[in-house]
Amino acid sequence: MNHIHLDAVGGIAGDMFIAAMLDMIPHLRPSIDQDIHRILPADIGRVEIAKTRKNGMHTQTFNLVFNPDYEPHGKSDHGPDHGHEHERRIGSGAYTDIVGYIRSSDLAPGTITVACAILTLLAEAEAKTHAVDISDVHFHEIADWDSVLDVVIAGSIIAALPDTRWTVSDLPRGGGLVKTQHGLLPVPAPATAELLAGFTWRDDGISGERVTPTGAAILKYLIDPEGNATPSAGSKKLLASGVGAGTRNIKELPNILRALQFDAASAARDMTCDQDHVTVIEFEIDDMTGEEIATASEILRDCDGVIDLVQFAGQGKKNRPVTSFRLLAQTGLADQVMDACFAQTSTIGLRHHVTERRILRRTESRDETGVRTKSVARPAGVTSCKVEHDDLTGEDLHSRRRQKYQAELQAEQKG
Instruction: Tell which residue, 354, 347, 356, has the closest CA to residue 322.
Output: 347
**Residue 65 to residue 57: CA distance in whole angstroms:** 23
Distance of CA 305 to the CA centre of its chain: 21
- Predicted confidence at residue 79, as pLDDT, reads 36
Q: What's at 8, amino acid-wise?
A: A
First to last CA, the chain: 30
390-402 tens-digit pLDDT: 888 888 888 888 8
| DSSP assignments along 197-230, one per residue | TTS-EE--S--B--B-HHHHHHHHHH--GGG--P
Instruction: Tell which residue, 149, 166, 121, 162, has the closest CA to residue 32.
Output: 149
Burial of 269 (0-12, 13-18, 19+ CB in 10 A): middle
| DSSP assignments along 74-137, one per residue | G--TT-TT-S-HHHHHHHT-BHHHHHHHHHTSSS-HHHHHHHHHHHHHHHHHHHHHHT--GGG-
215-269 tens-digit pLDDT: 999 999 999 988 786 665 445 678 899 999 998 888 889 999 999 998 765 444 5
pLDDT band at 78; cut points 50, 70, 90: very low
Lowest mean pLDDT among 91-105, 294-308, 337-351: 91-105
Cβ atoms within 10 Å of 396's Cβ, excluding its own: 7
For residue 378, the surrounding DSSP H or E stretch is none
10-54 tens-digit pLDDT: 999 999 999 999 999 999 999 999 999 999 998 889 999 999 888
Question: Bigger pLDDT: 318 or 217?
Answer: 217
**Residue 407 to residue 404: CA distance in whole angstroms:** 5
| Residue percentage of the chain with pLDDT more than 70 | 86
The phi, psi pair for 46, rounded to 5°, reads -140, 160
150-192 tens-digit pLDDT: 999 999 999 999 889 899 999 999 988 877 666 788 889 888 9
* pLDDT above 70 (res 90): no
**Residue 27 to residue 279: CA distance in whole angstroms:** 10
* pLDDT above 80 (res 384): no
**Residue 346 to residue 323: CA distance in whole angstroms:** 12
Would you tell me the crossing angle of helices 14-24 and 213-222 to the nearest 10 degrees?
Answer: 50
- Predicted confidence at residue 74, as pLDDT, reads 43
Lowest mean pLDDT among 105-119, 149-163, 170-184, 355-369: 355-369
The per-residue b/e assignment along 193-222, b for 16 or more CB within 10 angstroms, e otherwise, is bbbbeebeeeebebebbbbbbbbbbbbbbb
* pLDDT above 80 (res 305): yes
- Predicted confidence at residue 55, as pLDDT, reads 81
Beta-bridged to residue 327, according to DSSP, are 281, 309
Instruction: Tell which residue, 242, 183, 217, has the closest CA to residue 5.
Output: 242
- Predicted confidence at residue 173, as pLDDT, reads 93
Question: Bigger pLDDT: 274 or 321?
Answer: 321
* pLDDT above 90 (res 81): no
* pLDDT above 60 (res 57): yes
* CB distance 5 to 222 below 8 Å: no
- Predicted confidence at residue 139, as pLDDT, reads 74
Q: If you count them, how many residues does the chain have?
A: 415
Q: Is the pTM of this model over 0.75?
A: no
- Predicted confidence at residue 82, as pLDDT, reads 38
Q: What average pLDDT is seen over the chain? A: 85
- Predicted confidence at residue 142, as pLDDT, reads 53
* CB distance 147 to 141 below 8 Å: yes
Burial of 134 (0-12, 13-18, 19+ CB in 10 A): middle
